[in-house]
Amino acid sequence: MKIQGFSIYGKRIILTLAVVLFLVFQLVPFKGLGFILSIVSIFAIVFSLLSCNFFTRVMSIIFLTFGTLMVGSKGISFLSYVKLYGDMLYLLSLFAIVPLLSIPIQAGGYREVFKQLFQGRIHSSSHLYRTITGLSYFLGCFLNMAAVPITHASVKSTVDSWPIKKPERFLASSIIQGFSLPIMWTPLSGILGVVLYVTKVEWLNIFPALLCISLVTLGFNWLIFTLVERVKQSGVDQKEVAAVEASPLFYRKMCQIVLAIVLLLFLIVSVDAIFSFGLVVSVTLLTLPFAWIWCLLLRKSTDYWPGVKHHFTHKIVDMSESFSIFLSAGFFVQALHYSGNDILVNQLFVQYDKMVGVHLFLITLPFLTLLFSFIGMHPIVVVNLLAQSLKPDVLGITPEQIAVAFLGGAVLTFYLGPFSGTLGLMSSIINVRPMRIAGWSLLYAAAFSLILTISVFLI
């Protein structure tokens, strides 16, 4: 028990230290700190490997082993080898910091406000579906994975009160389809940060296209659900719920949260434009003070720091699998570049591009991300491994097209990938197998694929 307690305590210290040192390194970049960050990253991998699940441990060891063999065959000094570690800490820092936005959400009583959305006149199951997906979409813009349980807790009682034959399917489908779409464009999305980082594409250059794809798909999902419900002729549409007049507090709270999110997005884009930190780093640096100021304005500042302390003493330990697989994959990518094997990977893509043509290559790129997800690889890992080996000018396509294709593949993975995290989280909430939940989204995933294919060629 003492050994286990020491392991947890050590892991907590190392993972927190890795995040803090990374943020300090962004503000005060000097070489000595960069080397220390690499050493801390190695310790983070070791501590994480001790407690992650079997599959993650195996994948991490494979990345570490083959990466070490590649650079070893080329000849590498010990110091140069250590410096290969630490890639993708920018993403792990984002995952560690962004959940702090849930503190003002909780302290400000916004969850109760979300529940009030359903106290008005919900006149049909289609209306209920649109409301739930809309709420899930909105929360997904800034809360990432936390949006799933918050939306579920806010809407479950309403769904249970309706005569819906399969409430679990209704809940899971509406929440996942709403949550998965904004990850394409929101700066607080980890996958967007990775895609922009590896493709060197500016967010503002593709933001309009990504937002349009996202919103058009959301509207298309609403249309599909309405048509399916009409075919079923379930009779649920006849139910009437007494209207409840929204209180002034409801409107004030909704205005507060919308204003806060718009302001946060504006600050992120402005800081990135002025200081050129990169979108992910800008988000990570701003989230902590922004959440604190939000709590101050709500006069709930006493709730903030205890919440931060609890997060870094308890929640960050649950990130073991992310630290293990992402840091290992980041090392593997750096090893690819150091050894020159990334050129071989690019040549494979060039041959595939010549064989099938540019159009089919772009169409299949999102499905390649989805395919890897079915063998347990997170879309962020896939993008980080593949995108850095792609040379758009050689392939005859633009970086923007590659970025949109990979982001589309990530959305498909969140819809259908059993190891994406989303389906696993929803599975634990409603106690249904991830693959069964994935099957409920097949029709909507097909619709998204069609919209994505058209969009990629128009960019």
Residue 41 lies in a domain: no
Does the residue 40 lie in any domain?
no
- Residue 235 above 50 pLDDT? no
Q: Give 206: exposed, middle or buried? Use CB within 10 Å, 0-12, 13-18, 19+.
A: buried
Residue pLDDT, tens place only, 351-378: 887 888 888 888 898 998 888 877 767 7
Nearest-angstrom CA–CA distance, 139 and 146: 8
* Among the ranges given (26-35, 55-64, 241-250, 446-455), the one the predictor scored with the smallest mean pLDDT: 241-250
For the full predicted model, state whether its pTM sits above 0.75. yes
| pLDDT score of 362 | 86
Backbone Cα Rg of the chain = 23
- Is 332 a domain residue? no
User: Which of 99-108, 286-295, 350-359 is the least confident region?
Assistant: 350-359
Residue 92 domain-assigned (yes or no):
no
Give yes or no for a contact between 404 and 210, defined as CB atoms under 8 angstroms apart.
yes
With cut-offs at 50, 70 and 90, classify the pLDDT of residue 236: very low
CB atoms inside a 10 Å sphere around CB 181: 28
Instruction: Note the pLDDT of residue 5.
Output: 61
Q: Does a structural domain hold residue 204?
A: yes
pLDDT in tens, 420-447: 678 877 887 888 888 888 889 899 999 9
Number of independent structural domains in the chain? 1
Sign of the four-CA dihedral 415, 420, 422, 423: positive
Q: What percent of the chain has pLDDT over 70?
A: 94
| Domain span at 185 | 100-301
Given the structure tokens 């997060």, which residue do they identify?
Answer: 311
Instruction: Say whether 393 sits in a helix, a strand or coil.
Output: helix
Look up residue 164 and give its DSSP letter.
-
Question: pLDDT digit string (tens) for 162-213?
Answer: 888 888 889 999 999 999 999 999 998 888 988 998 888 999 999 999 999 9
With CA atoms as reference, report the closest residue to 225 among 450, 452, 447, 454.
Answer: 447
Please indicate, yes or no, if residue 133 is contained in any of the structural domains: yes
Residues 6+ apart with CB under 8 A from 254: 113
Does residue 137 lie in a domain region?
yes
* Domain contains 266: yes
Nearest to 45 by CA among 373, 319, 315, 383: 319
**pLDDT at residue 123, rounded to an integer:** 75
- Paired tokens of 104: 């003002």
Question: By the 8 A CB rule, do 184 and 214 touch?
Answer: yes
